[in-house]
Amino acid sequence: MKIEEIENEIIDEFSMFDEWMGKYEHIIEMGKSLPLIEEKYKTDDRLIKGCQSKVWLHSELKDGKIFFTADSDAIITKGLVAMMVRVLSGHTSDEILAAKMDFVEKIGLKEHLSPTRANGLVNMIKQMKLDSLAYKAKV
Amino acid sequence: MTSTKVISEEKIAFDINNIRNDFPILSRKVNGKPLIYLDSGATAQKPKQVIDAIEKYYSEQNANIHRAVHRLSQDITTIYENARTTVQKHINAKHVHEIIFTHGTTESINLVATTFGKKFVNAGDEILITEMEHHSNILPWQQLCEEKNAVLKVVPINSEGELIMDEFKKLLSAKTKIVAITHTSNTLGTINPIKEIISLAHANNIPVLVDGAQSIPHTKVNVQELDADFYCFSGHKVFGPTGVGVLYGKEEWLRKLPNYQVGGGTIKTVSFAKTEYADIPLRFEAGTPNIEGGIGLAVALDYINNIGFENISAYEHELLEYATEKLSVVEGLKIIGTSKNKASVISFVIDKIHPYDIGVILDQLGIAVRTGHHCTQPIMDKFGIPGTVRASLAFYNTKDEIDELVKGITKAKQMLR
Digits of tens for pLDDT over chain B (417 positions)?
444 455 544 445 689 999 999 999 999 999 899 999 999 999 999 999 999 999 999 999 999 998 888 999 999 999 999 999 999 999 999 999 999 999 999 999 999 999 999 999 999 999 999 999 999 999 999 999 999 999 999 999 999 999 999 999 999 999 999 999 999 999 999 999 999 999 999 999 999 999 999 999 999 999 999 999 999 999 999 999 999 999 999 999 999 999 999 998 888 899 999 999 999 999 999 999 999 999 999 999 999 999 999 999 999 999 999 999 999 999 999 999 999 999 999 999 999 999 999 999 999 999 999 998 889 999 999 999 989 999 999 999 999 999 999 999 999 999 998
A20 vs B: CB within 8 A? yes
B355 interaction partners in chain A (CB closer than 8 Å): 52
Residue A69 confidence class, pLDDT cut points 50, 70, 90: very high
- Please state, in angstroms and rounded to a whole number, the distance separating the CA atoms of residues B153 and B137: 13
Domain check: are B318 and B175 in the same one? Answer: no
**CA–CA separation, B365 vs B392, rounded Å?**
17
The closest of B52, B93, B411, B304 to A24, measured between CA atoms, is: B411
Among the candidates B267, B282, B305, a domain finishes at: B305
Which residue, B407, B273, B256, is CA-closest to B330?
Answer: B407
Please give the pLDDT value at position A137.
82
Q: What is the pLDDT of residues B198-255, one digit of tens each?
A: 999 999 999 999 999 999 999 999 999 999 999 999 999 999 999 999 999 999 999 9
Tell me what pLDDT residue A102 has.
Answer: 87
Q: Residue A134 has what pLDDT?
A: 93
- My answer on whether B261 and B395 are in the same domain is no
- The answer to whether residues B221 and B345 belong to one domain is no
- From chain A, pick out residues whose CB is under 8 angstroms from the CB of B361: 24, 76
Neighbours of B91 (CB within 10 A): 22
Write out chain A residues lying below 8 Å of B416, CB-based: 28, 75-76
**In a shared domain, residues B226 and B252:** yes
Q: Is A24 in CB contact (< 8 Å) with chain B?
A: yes
Q: Please tell me the total count of domains within chain B.
A: 2
Specify the pLDDT at position B265.
Answer: 86
| B212 within domain boundaries | yes
B83 shares a domain with B100: yes
Looking at this protein, which amino acid is placed at residue A82?
A: A
Nearest to A52 among B353, B372, B416 (CB): B372
User: In this structure, is residue B5 part of a structural domain?
Assistant: no
Verify whether the Cβ–Cβ distance B371 to A28 is below 8 Å.
Answer: no
- Best of B29, B33, B39, B356 to disrupt the A interface (most A CBs within 10 Å) is B356
- CB within 8 Å: A77 and B354: yes
Examine the domain organization and report whether B293 and B356 are in the same domain: no
State whether B360 and A20 contact (CB < 8 Å). Answer: no
Report the CATH number at residue B130: 3.40.640.10
What average pLDDT does range A44-65 have in this prediction?
89
Q: Which chain B residue is nearest to residue A120, measuring alpha carbons?
A: B356
C-beta atoms of A74 and B372 within 8 A? no
Distance CA B186, CA B249 (A): 22
Question: Residue A104 belongs to a domain with what CATH number?
Answer: 3.90.1010.10
Residue B354: list chain A partners with CB under 8 A. 53, 73-75, 77
Residues B229/B249, Cβ–Cβ less than 8 Å = yes
- pLDDT of the residue at B3: 47
Asked if the structure places residue B38 within a domain, the reply is no
Task: Kindly state whether residue B9 falls inside one of the protein's structural domains.
Answer: no
Q: What is the pLDDT of residues A85-121, one digit of tens each?
A: 999 999 999 999 999 988 888 888 777 666 555 557 8
Q: Does A76 touch chain B (CB under 8 A)?
A: yes
What is the sign of the dihedral through the CA atoms of A43, A49, A52 and A53?
A: negative
- The reply to whether B275 and B332 lie within a common domain is no
Closest residue to A73, CB basis, from B31, B354, B364: B354
Q: Closest partner residue to B371 among A20, A28, A52, by Cβ?
A: A52
Give the total number of structural domains in chain A.
1
Residues of chain B with a CB closer than 8 angstroms to some CB in chain A: 31, 353-357, 360-361, 364, 371-372, 386-387, 415-416
Chain-chain contact of B386 with A25 (C-beta, under 8 angstroms): no
Q: pLDDT value at position A18? A: 84
Looking at the fold, whether B372 and B284 belong to one and the same domain comes out as no
The number of C-beta contacts closer than 8 angstroms across A and B is 43
Question: What's the angle, vertex CA B343, arms to CA B339 and CA B348, rounded to 5?
Answer: 65
Contact B141, B190 (CB under 8 A): no
Confidence of residue A139 (pLDDT cuts 50, 70, 90): low
Residues B300 and B322 both lie in one domain: no
Amino acid found at A55: V
Domain with A49 in it: 3-138
Residue at a domain's end among B251, B278, B305: B305
Which residues in chain B have Cβ-Cβ distances shorter than 8 Å to A20? 31, 364
Q: At a CB cut-off of 8 Å and minimum separation 6, what does B236 contact?
A: B43, B44, B104, B242, B243, B244
Q: How many helices (H) and strands (E) does chain B have?
A: 14, 17
Choose the final residue of a domain: B284, B305, B326: B305
B179 domain residue, yes or no: yes
Residue B44 lies in a domain: no
Bin B403: left if φ > 0, else alpha if -120 < ψ < 50, else beta: alpha
Specify if B292 maps to a domain: yes
Q: Give the domain range for residue B326.
A: 16-30+308-416
The nearest CA of chain A is from the CA of B132 a distance in Å of 20
φ, ψ dihedrals at B233, nearest 5°? -155, 170
Is the Cβ of A32 closer than 8 Å to some Cβ of chain B?
no
**For the segment B92-110, what is each residue's pLDDT rounded down to a tens digit?**
999 999 999 999 999 999 9
Chain B residue numbers touching A52 (CB-CB < 8 A): 355-356, 371-372, 387
**End-to-end Cα spacing for chain A:** 23
Selecting from B31, B354, B364 the residue whose C-beta is nearest the C-beta of A74 gives B354
Nearest chain A residue (CA) to B360: A76
Is B353 within the bounds of a domain? Answer: yes
B356: chain A residues, CB-CB within 8 Å: 52-53, 74, 76-77, 118-119
Q: Is A17 on the interface with B (CB under 8 A)?
A: no
**A52/B387 CB distance under 8 A:** yes
Would you tell me how many other CB atoms lie within 10 Å of the CB of residue B141?
25
Question: Closest Cα of chain A to B42: distance in Å?
Answer: 14
Does residue B291 share a domain with residue B263? yes
Q: Quick one: pLDDT at residue A115? A: 59
Selected residue of B357, B373, B390 to mutate for chain A interface (largest A Cβ count, 10 A):
B357
Chain A residue with Cα closest to B31? A20
Residues of A in contact with B364 (CB under 8 A): 20-21, 24
Q: Does B315 share its domain with B400?
A: yes
